Amino acid sequence: MHKVNDASVELREKVFEYARTRMNFSPPPLDSPLPEADLFSKAGQTITESGLGGLASLDLFGQVLAPATISTDHPGYLSFIPCAPTEASKLFDLIVSASAIYGGSWMEGAGAVFAENQVLSWLASEAGLPVTAGGVFVQGGTLGNLSALVAARHKAKAARVLAGKAMPQTWKFICSSEAHSSLKAAAAVMDVEIIKAAVDSNGKLRGTSVAEALAGAGDGVFAVVATAGTTNFGIVDDLDAIGQVAKQAGLWFHVDGAYGLAAMLAESTKSLFKGLDRADSFIVDPHKWLYAPFDACALVYRDPEDGRKAHTQHGEYLDILTETGDWNPSDYAYNLTRRPRGLPLWFSLATHGVAAYREAIESNNRVARQISTFIEQSDTLDLVRKPELSVVVFTKRGWQLADYEAWSAKLLARGEAFVVPSSHLGQPNARFAIVNPQTTFEQLVAILNSMDE
Ligand SMILES: *Cc1c(COP(=O)(O)O)cnc(C)c1O
């Protein structure tokens, strides 16, 4: 199995050829899912005692499995949050895969960790955090939020122990009703309570509302979470005022910017993030709006020691790593073994420079504004909310959920676009999440026009 022979050289070339062909598509085929029974009838039992062989397995993937797998980097993929990696980041992901780098410790992964840390430092400095800020790339925003909140509670607990104060009956954190579902999941895992603070009519969380929630929350609040770009609408909470309220109450201030925080890099949206420099921690997903492949979330702490104290795992087999002053990425989140998943972003940033990122994000903002204006001026479409970033939510007058569903199915069947219906306050709507620089205004207009066919 390990011997390099002609067959394996041929397979290697075939795999590279597959990757090359995939990257040469512009755009890639959108593709669409199939029921399991259909896939089984085409693919059959693929795990066998003697193996199918590499060429046959690759062929099976290319012919059967890949076409049943949606390309999230297709410019017509507009649902949820798409993933539109730069070519440089995709290429480097291949190198990471070929390299077997252990990204959990400095001892094993120093060069890779150094590069990842430069990216994290750059993000921290864009956010206005001190140069001592740092963190780790984790699998996704869900794990990033959980890890930050675990660190926040750990710190609150330690402070009570130090002050000789009793522990609260229930630990709690405050966030808005528009906050991402991962916060509810984190609260469940941590067995803590969520105190919901009300948003204003545009879905934005304000400082006054956080202060009210805090006043009625009772004992045990350890953090306030603001969202910098809600997933549904791309609304950025009032970070400045919320951060102020959190600080005055001596609470940890976490900013969930999984999707939207990237827009701090663009001139026209930068000011929305005023107050981000008050954060004790923030997250942003490179696989969302920083043009990197799945899966990566940058988790940054103002004081990385808060993360390290909460997350370092101890064990006889680990002490050689943890009993040193080295920077070990595993110590800063709920993880141990890790792929250096920040490297594809590092390579692309190092290649293109930051200015190219600012411009790409700005171009997504521009397309979002253009299509919003188009919708506002249309006689048959209505914006649900005026977008702040690159998510545009709208309704078609007279349409029921079934109309949106039929339209969505038609677009996918034609390989044109992936726009699944969404809803707000029980009303169905359609939503464009624009993070792919190849998504054009003209293309979106064509998609809107297809509603009238
Ligand atoms: C997507 C998202 C998350 C979760 O991130 P994953 O990478 O999907 O785990 C958390 N918060 C917000 C605001 C998001 O948009």
Given this model, what pLDDT does residue 316 score?
80
Q: What is the pLDDT along the chain (453 residues), one digit of tens a residue?
A: 555 566 789 999 999 999 999 999 999 999 999 999 999 999 999 999 999 999 999 999 999 999 999 999 999 999 999 999 999 999 999 999 999 999 999 999 999 999 999 999 999 999 999 999 999 999 999 999 999 999 999 999 999 999 999 999 999 999 999 999 999 999 999 999 999 999 999 999 999 999 999 999 999 999 999 999 999 999 999 999 999 999 999 999 999 999 999 999 999 999 999 999 999 999 999 999 999 999 999 999 999 999 999 999 988 877 777 777 899 999 999 999 999 999 999 999 999 999 999 999 999 999 999 999 999 999 999 999 999 999 999 999 999 999 999 999 999 999 999 999 999 999 999 999 999 999 999 999 999 999 999
Q: Which H or E element spans position 337?
A: none
Q: Name the residue of 256, 261, 295, 335 to mutate for ligand 1: max ligand atoms within 8 A of Cβ.
A: 256
Given this model, what pLDDT does residue 2 score?
56
Q: How far apart are CA 295 and CA 211, in angstroms?
A: 35
Q: How far apart are CA 412 and CA 414, in angstroms?
A: 5
CA of 257 to the centre of ligand 1 (A): 8
Task: Say how many CA atoms lie within 13 Å of 152 toward its Cβ.
Answer: 32
Residue 91 identity (one-letter amino acid)? L
Smallest CA-to-CA distance from 92 within 10, 158, 23, 28 is with 23
- φ/ψ of residue 393, rounded to 5: -115, 130
CA of 182 to the centre of ligand 1 (A): 7
Whether residue 27 is preceded by a cis peptide bond, meaning omega within 30 degrees of 0, is: yes
Atom of ligand 1 nearest to the CA of 285: 7
Q: Do residues 172 and 220 make contact, with C-beta atoms less than 8 angstroms apart?
A: yes
Q: How far apart are CA 40 and CA 58, in angstroms?
A: 16
Q: How far apart are CA 393 and CA 42, in angstroms?
A: 38
Could you tell me the two tokens for 182? 């991962």
Atom of ligand 1 nearest to the CA of 287: 7
Q: Assess whether the C-beta atom of 176 lies below 6 angstroms from ligand 1.
A: no
Q: What is the DSSP letter of 81?
A: S
User: Helix or strand or coil: residue 384?
Assistant: coil
pTM above 0.85, yes or no: yes
As a whole number of Å, the CA-based R_g of the chain is 23
Q: What domains sit in the chain, N to C, each tagged with a CATH number?
A: 1-30+33-66 (no CATH), 94-352 (3.40.640.10), 354-452 (3.90.1150.10)
What dihedral do alpha carbons 108, 352, 79, 373 form, nearest 10°? 150
Q: How far apart are CA 273 and CA 228, in angstroms?
A: 7
